[in-house]
Amino acid sequence: MKNRRLLPVVAVLSMLLPLSACGGEAETGGGGGGDAAAYPSEPITLVIPYAAGGPTDQVARSLAPFFEEELGQSVVPENRPGGSGALGMARMIQAGPDGHTLQILASSAAAVTPLVEDVDYDESDYVTIGAISQYPYVLAVRADSEYASAEDFFEAAEADPGSLSVAVPGASSQGAVELQRLAEEYDVVTTPVPFDGNAGSIAALLGGNVDATFVVASDDILTQMEAGEFRPIAVGSAERASYLPDTPTLQELGYEDLTMGTSYYGLAAPAGTPDEVVARLEDTLEAALEDPEVVERIGEKYVPEEFISGEELGELFAEQRAAYEPVLSGTSD
């Protein structure tokens, strides 16, 4: 967490002022970042912890041009897929808390991966800057699937446990955890098949290698629906998605506790990043999400109606961890 050294102000003020005037280093509010007033002093790396082409990639590349213009430094997106987001997280944390390495942080990496994977980070290792977008998880089948509805799909799963395979964007994605909750709490057992991000999951369903996919409802899968390749049969969010109005929620289908299937995508920095730098990044993010060009690139339907601050995003991730920990630790009963 952030460290602050308490100094007797009257005794040292006269020494600190000449030091700062001569270019000496003074500690900032968050520690470890040097002169926050001069930030940024070099190009910014924006880590994307999933493969190119997915929603995290789209979000990062939608933000980068605006941040470059506002901050006066180039912003370089860098894909670091693997470990259900853990490799990207390690890349950001190890870069140090100077604000020049940031990350697109999704709910799965923040709320699920630390509970199920042997990773070297937890919520104390990063600071959330604000939410960028939010996506409900959608369960989809091929248009030629024998399962015409969610009811048909789940009835088949109940009749023959484990026989239906479902592609998910990572072994510790929210999709995978919600399927585990479906099995443990409602005796509807499917076989999750993990991929690194949406792209592999969608390709598996297109190729007929799985019976369904359960991924965030971003443009890549919506495109397949619009083309008539896929048919959505359920969403994992608490309410129906405005752009999938005819697709019922899992709660509506009788699985009352399965309402956590919304992924929040936010911006994060290493813990210890100076408060002034975090504040500037949060202000820049809020301005970006008010810019029509940025919103169009991300997709208006994905941008929250009200800006979700860094503190609020951290609270949302904490709520998701609290919901998932019992089932992932085997104490849900």
Q: What is the pLDDT of residues 25-38, one digit of tens each?
A: 333 334 444 456 78
Instruction: Name the CATH code of domain 27-134+262-328 (choices 3.40.190.150, 3.30.450.40, 3.30.70.120, 2.60.120.10).
Output: 3.40.190.150
pLDDT for 332 equals 52
What percent of the chain stands above pLDDT 90?
74
> Which tops the pLDDT comparison, 14 or 236?
236
Point out which residues pair with 235 in neighbouring strands. 138, 249
pLDDT over 90 (residue 317): yes
Q: Please give the Cα distance from 109 to 317 (Å, whole number).
A: 10
Judge whether 27-134+262-328 and 135-235 match in fold. yes
pLDDT of 152-210, one tens digit each? 999 999 999 999 999 998 887 899 999 999 999 999 999 999 997 888 999 999 999 99
Alpha-carbon distance of 36 to 331, in angstroms, equals 45
3-state secondary structure of 57: helix
Residue 39's pLDDT band (boundaries 50, 70, 90)? very high
Q: What is the pLDDT of residues 251-289, one digit of tens each?
A: 999 999 999 999 999 999 999 999 999 999 999 999 999
The closest of 249, 267, 195, 226 to 50, measured between CA atoms, is: 195
3-state secondary structure of 312: helix
Q: Is the pLDDT of residue 319 over 60?
A: yes
Instruction: Give the count of alpha carbons within 13 A of 207, CB side only.
Output: 8
pLDDT at 286: 98
Question: What's the CA gap between 1 and 17, in Å, rounded?
Answer: 27
Distances (CA, A) of 163 to 69, 126, 157, 158, 232: 52, 40, 7, 9, 20
Q: What is the pLDDT of residue 50?
A: 84
- Inform me whether the pLDDT recorded for 84 exceeds 90: no
pLDDT at 80 over 80: yes
Residue 12: what pLDDT? 34
- What's the pLDDT at 86? 86
Give the right CATH number for 135-235 from 3.40.50.1820, 3.40.190.10, 3.40.50.1260, 3.40.50.1370: 3.40.190.10
In percent, the amount of the chain with pLDDT more than 70 equals: 88
Over 80: is that where the pLDDT of 19 sits? no
pLDDT at 3: 37
Residue boundaries of the structural domains of the chain:
27-134+262-328, 135-235
Task: Kindly state the tokens that stand for 249.
Answer: 């929620």
Give the pLDDT confidence score for residue 235 in this predicted structure. Answer: 98
Mean of the pLDDT values across residues 102-114?
Answer: 91
The confidence band for 9, taking pLDDT boundaries of 50, 70 and 90, is very low
The pLDDT of residue 11 is: 35
The pLDDT, as a whole number, for residue 15 is 35
From the list 44, 108, 107, 109, the residue with the least C-alpha distance to 78 is: 44
**Pair 28, 97: CB distance under 8 Å:** no
Averaged pLDDT score across all residues of the chain: 88
Examine the pLDDT at 137 and tell me if it is beyond 80. Answer: yes
Helix, strand, coil abundance in the chain, percent, nearest 5: 40, 20, 40
With 0-12 / 13-18 / 19 or more C-beta atoms within 10 angstroms meaning exposed / middle / buried, residue 330 is exposed
Our measurement of the distance from residue 168's CA atom to the centroid of its chain's CA atoms, rounded to an integer in Å, reads 15
d(CA 153, CA 147): 5
- Rounded to whole angstroms, how far apart are CA atoms 50 and 169? 9
Is pLDDT above 80 for 24? no
pLDDT at 205: 98
74 vs 203: CA distance, rounded Å: 33
Cross-strand partners of 265: 106, 133
Q: What is the DSSP letter of 16?
A: H
